[in-house]
Structure 1
Amino acid sequence: MKVALIGAELEENLGLRYMVSALEQAGHRARIFPFNDETELATVVRQIAAFAPHIAGLSMVFTGRAREFCRLARSLRESGFAGHLTAGGHFAALNCRQLMQDFPEFDSIALGEGEKLICELAANLSNLSDVPGFCYRDRDRTIRVNPSAGNPEELDLLPFPRRDTFHEYYGKPIASILSSRGCWRSCAFCSIDAWYRSGGGSKFRIRSVPNIVAEMSELYHGNGVRIFNFQDDNFFLPDRAKALARFTELRDSLWREGVKDIAIAVKARPDSINREAMSVLDDLGVFRVFLGVENASERELENLNRKCSRDAIENALHILNDVDVHVAYNLLMFEPDTTLEDILINLRFMERHMDNPFNFCRAEAYAATGLEKKLRRDGILVGDYFGFDYRIKDPHVEAFHKIANYAFFDRNFNDFGLHYFNMEVDFSFQLLRRFHPDLLSQELRSEVRSFIKETNIDTYRCLSRIWDMVQAIDPADQETLRNAMGGVRLRVDDGGIALRARGERILERLRRAWVEQRPERADTTPVNREISLLGGGYPYFGRESLANAGADPVGPGFFGGGTPIPYAEFRRRLAEQK
């Protein structure tokens, strides 16, 4: 049987690659079709038609792209695709009944991890009534849900994900990898936690160290991979002693297999970080840690159910900066009960931590999360499953959020936004430092560190300006609010122009340093694009957007997506308006 798997491929989509391997092991033919944005819709439809699969599976993970995948489903049917159309992933599974009701194009929705489910679907295509883990239409077109039997407990039994090509940074192939699945915490905003809970079975599972080493060794010796991007929600274990023992075994086992001189990137909670574990990971080659800071206010951490303290956050940053790795984090500065005092605490946190790239946003409400349930109980949840929304209870904080979200939209959420670019510069420097420390002068290091700090300082200044504004304005005064949004937006974008140009020069110096050592690779330019997966915001679609920015954000089109227009066009239209 032929199966087409369709999803984002900005970096390796491990979910789809695992499913390809499982299908091939079961005797089927499977192929991945990248669908990275809606401009590729017609191309994907043509590719599917040419492949003529029996099953087309859509990887619907993110709420922000859900409508695009629904339009793709409709386009596939309109093009004549008559096979079985299924979907899976966080968004699809947590909203399965609504999707099946609203979009008759779908024949089924998978409710858990895909390897076993896609094979079960292929084996029982004519009748899903006895197959666990599917929402489907029965023969009489009634929507039914077969509860999941639980995600697989033994991750070692899964075949390694199928890989054909590899991206490179500074001539070093990179591969994404998982050492565990799920998370051992239950943060209020986390759709990952909600998805794993809904799937049944254990919420957190790990692979054995020998199984991880076997995959890494195969990638290292067979494909030349030298950079391993661990996509675990948290690379650490809840028990510190067990985590240390696991990392030590991983390091020693890799060294015995001849897997040395590698670089690894991981994600971690602040309360997982300790010096003993980081010492072992430093031996292993860690160069990047994405740290789940989320908020610096103890009250907000409790509201978000983080089960983490500000002291743990401060300690983690101190340790990681001592180890001297690329550390980046995000701040969920806004949630329904945020106060001005909470914002001030986070501003003070930024003030103390200008050394590490960061981003900020609002905690969004996704289906089945603790936050969505709380908002529903409080009677302040609006929108629909394609994008829930809410207003912050304190009107001055809501005004702060509106101004900041509009003003920083490009800097925070654009694929090429300054905050992600700030991370890119540090990422590139630390990666080159891991493999070629001799190429990096102290002066170049100072340029990188200064760029990071000055980008952060510029953001801090603008947020401080907003703080001062909201003390003086009436949040109900829409004209004043719109003027503030437009004025700060201009200030943010003006400041970003010179900073972006400076960062580009630094990246070029890093590239040149590498090229001069390896002239045969002079045509290769390392690029790292970290794509924002955060939802919500006020995109700027033209001067009419600015005119309506202070109005009620709830209604048609608010979650409709779209790309912010370039800065030059923003300035031109604003000048026309004036």
Structure 2
Amino acid sequence: MKVFLIYIRDEDFYRLLPAELGDSRFSKDRVQVMAFPPIGIETLAPIIRQHGHEVRMFDTCHPQMKAEHIACAVRTEKPDVIALSFLSTTAYPATRSMAQQLKQAAPDTPIIVGGVFATINAKEILADTRDIDYVARGEGEELLPEFLENLGSPGTVGGLVWRSGGDIVENAPRPVIEDLDQFPYPDRKSLPIDYIESMPLDVPAVLSLDRFCTMQTSRGCPYQCIYCGIPSLANRKWRHRSPEHVLGEMQQLNDEGYRSIYLTDDQFLLDRKRIGAICQGIIDRKFAFNWGCEGRVDSVATDQFPIMAKAHCNFLAFGVEAGTQKVLDRIGKMQTMKQVEDAVSLAKRHGIETIHGFFLVGSPDETAEDILESFRFAARLKLDTFGFNRLCAYRGTPLWQDYVERGIIDDKRDWNKWFKCSDIDPSILPGDVVNRARQKGYMLLFANRLFLRPFQTIKLLRRFGRFMKKGDIMKLLMSPFRKRVLTLKPSLPSPMIDLGLIAPVRKV
């Protein structure tokens, strides 16, 4: 059986590498794109092949892998199944359009979609468009092969949502996968794309031209922040791969010449012994790459920072979120200000080169003074980079459910949207007030960095100057102060990434 695996991106969140940054290390036969690799379909491809099927992968960031090109390939190669993968709300319109074009090209070919948004909105998607035939809820490593073996009897496939006549049928949910070591390593060779380590900005903010990829060593998060839907996808359960399995993949990547790896784990810092074993393995095997990850400041594994630094961890991102305990408690962060300060200081003291802080503004019960206090707090911390984003509500999060119960969001009407909370919640500061407070906060923070930490700032600017024009660096520095004109997409607020001084926000 021939299967097309297609990853569909929001056009706003990737860029082709500017021609002037071209490097002789890159193959002329491959496209260079500033984006994260599509690790979902890269993971599924070898699993499907193990079951005896032929696979072709597509990533719509490639100029020759747009909907019209894939539709042409569908007509020519006649796949037996088309699987569409996409991440979030912002990519759903493109996914819907892709399904329509592919269904026109091959009316009888079944189309199945998967991903986080699809899992949360399975019934709504099937009711919204007839061009999508099936939705895979949850993890696909076991579901998709089982689906391919049972095309004639979809009712037997756990986790599948499908149509029977005019009705939408929800099969029993699948249990989460416990053994993550059972699967082969992702296929990073088949797509003719080099993914460039970069920031998701509207300027060419390239971090390095080293060979770059992502890895996932664990899944899930046991916490319950009100703005995050990840815990609900696996009932707040955290699962992980063994150190041996992780090191086996790292060995492969090291041997293939990868020199920069980012771990996409939702929470890497949960198991001290596991982290220690992975880091010791990196040291013992003398791997040549640098790597980065994300974690919570209250993790018990903060005592592993020394060995992480020794193992070439050069980037660590913390979800700080707010600079007042009142707001941290309100958004369910379950961490203290002291834990934030201690974790950041500890990471810097033990030699992790770049520490990033994610912050939110426009939270419930937050005042303009609270927003300014978050910026003052960021200035006191030993952060290298930072980003201040407006709090948003997404379906599947506790915050969304709260708005549904309060009558602010209509769940049936708004399922395919996301909202900036300050635009819809009358109890939150209005958006213009939030933005004014944020601009004032950036001025305070920038002044602190430029005058009190000039050497740290100059070092960062030099790093970015390796791959950015002076004009683009100035655009980056001035971006928090520009008034943005938003172009609304159908049924969706336009996504806006709010970034601070040289803020390498790795996830959108």
Same fold (TM over 0.5): yes
- Measured after TM superposition, the shift of residue 107 of structure 1 is 0.8
- Measured after TM superposition, the shift of residue 88 of structure 1 is 0.7
Cα distance change, pair 51–352 in 1 and its aligned pair in 2 (3 A)? farther
In the TM superposition, 1:394-543 aligns within 5 A as 394=427, 396-401=429-434, 449-450=457-458, 503=461, 507-509=464-466, 540=485
Cα distance change, pair 361–558 in 1 and its aligned pair in 2 (3 A)? farther
Instruction: Tell me the distance in 1 between the aligned counterparts of 2:489 and 2:51.
Output: 45
**Letter paired with 2:396:** A
Q: Which residue of 2 aligns with 1:175?
A: 213
Instruction: Indicate conservation of the 8 Å contact 2:292/2:314, yes or no.
Output: yes
Larger displacement relative to structure 2 (380-389 or 283-292): 380-389
2:375 corresponds to 1:342: no
Cα distance change, pair 446–396 in 1 and its aligned pair in 2 (3 A)? closer
Instruction: Indicate conservation of the 8 Å contact 1:290/1:329, yes or no.
Output: yes
Larger displacement relative to structure 2 (95-104 or 42-51): 42-51
Question: Match of 1:76, SS?
Answer: helix
Cα distance change, pair 510–558 in 1 and its aligned pair in 2 (3 A)? closer
Instruction: Tell me the distance in 1 between the aligned counterparts of 2:118 and 2:495.
Output: 21
Q: Which residue of 1 aligns with 2:286?
A: 259
Cα distance change, pair 155–332 in 1 and its aligned pair in 2 (3 A)? same
Q: Which residue of 2 aligns with 1:133?
A: 159
- Measured after TM superposition, the shift of residue 397 of structure 1 is 4.3
Instruction: Tell me the distance in 2 between the aligned counterparts of 1:41 and 1:100.
Output: 20
Larger displacement relative to structure 2 (75-84 or 364-373): 75-84
Q: Which residue of 1 aligns with 2:262?
A: 229
Instruction: Tell me the distance in 2 between the aligned counterparts of 1:174 and 1:395.
Output: 40
Instruction: Tell me the distance in 2 between the aligned counterparts of 1:364 and 1:159.
Output: 36
2:4 corresponds to 1:4: yes
Instruction: Tell me the distance in 1 between the aligned counterparts of 2:238 and 2:352.
Output: 30
Match of 1:298 among 325, 331, 335: 325
Instruction: Tell me the distance in 2 between the aligned counterparts of 1:19 and 1:404.
Output: 45
Instruction: Indicate conservation of the 8 Å contact 1:355/1:449, yes or no.
Output: no
Q: Which residue of 1 aligns with 2:396?
A: 368
Question: How many residues are paired up?
Answer: 434
List per-residue Cα deviations over 1:13-63 (Å, max 9, x = no partner).
111111101100100111211123999332333333333211111112111
Larger displacement relative to structure 2 (57-66 or 18-27): 57-66
Higher RCO (Cα < 8 Å, 6 or more apart)? 2
Instruction: Indicate conservation of the 8 Å contact 1:338/1:392, yes or no.
Output: no
Q: Which residue of 2 aligns with 1:470?
A: none
Larger displacement relative to structure 2 (283-292 or 362-371): 362-371
**Letter paired with 1:101:** A
Cα distance change, pair 55–403 in 1 and its aligned pair in 2 (3 A)? farther
2:309 corresponds to 1:282: yes
In structure 1, stretches of 5+ residues that fail to align are 238-242, 412-418, 423-444, 453-502, 513-529, 531-537, 546-554, 565-578
- Measured after TM superposition, the shift of residue 310 of structure 1 is 1.5
Question: Match of 1:307, SS?
Answer: coil
Cα distance change, pair 557–247 in 1 and its aligned pair in 2 (3 A)? closer
Match of 2:56 among 31, 34, 38: 31
List per-residue Cα deviations over 1:259-295 (Å, max 9, x = no partner).
3333111111111276631001011110011211122
Instruction: Tell me the distance in 1 between the aligned counterparts of 2:379 and 2:328.
Output: 19
Instruction: Indicate conservation of the 8 Å contact 1:133/1:146, yes or no.
Output: yes
The TM-score, its normalising length taken from structure 2, stands at 0.76
Cα distance change, pair 126–266 in 1 and its aligned pair in 2 (3 A)? same
Instruction: Indicate conservation of the 8 Å contact 1:67/1:386, yes or no.
Output: no
Instruction: Indicate conservation of the 8 Å contact 2:368/2:437, yes or no.
Output: no
Instruction: Indicate conservation of the 8 Å contact 1:235/1:266, yes or no.
Output: yes
Match of 1:65 among 84, 91, 96: 91
Instruction: Indicate conservation of the 8 Å contact 2:37/2:213, yes or no.
Output: yes
Match of 2:357 among 321, 325, 329: 329
Q: Which residue of 2 aligns with 1:270?
A: 297
Instruction: Indicate conservation of the 8 Å contact 2:260/2:291, yes or no.
Output: yes
- Measured after TM superposition, the shift of residue 97 of structure 1 is 0.8
Q: Which residue of 2 aligns with 1:481?
A: none
Q: Percent of aligned pairs with the same residue?
A: 23
Question: Match of 1:271, SS?
Answer: coil
Instruction: Indicate conservation of the 8 Å contact 1:177/1:228, yes or no.
Output: yes
Q: Which residue of 2 aligns with 1:573?
A: none
2:77 corresponds to 1:51: yes
Q: Which residue of 1 aligns with 2:180?
A: 155
- Measured after TM superposition, the shift of residue 404 of structure 1 is 7.1
Cα distance change, pair 557–251 in 1 and its aligned pair in 2 (3 A)? closer
Instruction: Indicate conservation of the 8 Å contact 1:189/1:364, yes or no.
Output: yes
Instruction: Indicate conservation of the 8 Å contact 1:274/1:319, yes or no.
Output: no
2:38 corresponds to 1:13: yes
Instruction: Tell me the distance in 1 between the aligned counterparts of 2:320 and 2:490.
Output: 31
- Measured after TM superposition, the shift of residue 402 of structure 1 is 5.9
The TM-score, its normalising length taken from structure 1, stands at 0.68
Instruction: Tell me the distance in 1 between the aligned counterparts of 2:301 and 2:237.
Output: 24
Match of 1:559 among 492, 495, 501: 492
List per-residue Cα deviations over 1:422-459 (Å, max 9, x = no partner).
9xxxxxxxxxxxxxxxxxxxxxx96662476xxxxxxx
Q: Which residue of 1 aligns with 2:405?
A: 377
Instruction: Tell me the distance in 2 between the aligned counterparts of 1:219 and 1:316.
Output: 30
- Measured after TM superposition, the shift of residue 393 of structure 1 is 2.9
Instruction: Tell me the distance in 1 between the aligned counterparts of 2:260 and 2:304.
Output: 20
Q: Which residue of 2 aligns with 1:104?
A: 130
2:348 corresponds to 1:315: no
Q: Which residue of 2 aligns with 1:520?
A: none
Question: Match of 2:153, SS?
Answer: coil
List per-residue Cα deviations over 1:152-203 (Å, max 9, x = no partner).
1000111111120654676642332121111121221112222223xxxx72
Instruction: Tell me the distance in 2 between the aligned counterparts of 1:260 and 1:316.
Output: 26
Instruction: Tell me the distance in 2 between the aligned counterparts of 1:393 and 1:540.
Output: 23
Instruction: Tell me the distance in 1 between the aligned counterparts of 2:418 and 2:181.
Output: 37
Instruction: Tell me the distance in 2 between the aligned counterparts of 1:262 and 1:273.
Output: 26
Q: Which consecutive aligned stretches of 4+ in structure 1 deviate over 4 angstroms post-superposition?
A: 165-171, 395-398, 402-405, 445-448, 508-512, 555-558
2:278 corresponds to 1:244: no
Cα distance change, pair 136–326 in 1 and its aligned pair in 2 (3 A)? same
Instruction: Indicate conservation of the 8 Å contact 1:213/1:253, yes or no.
Output: yes
**Letter paired with 1:35:** T
Instruction: Indicate conservation of the 8 Å contact 2:254/2:287, yes or no.
Output: no
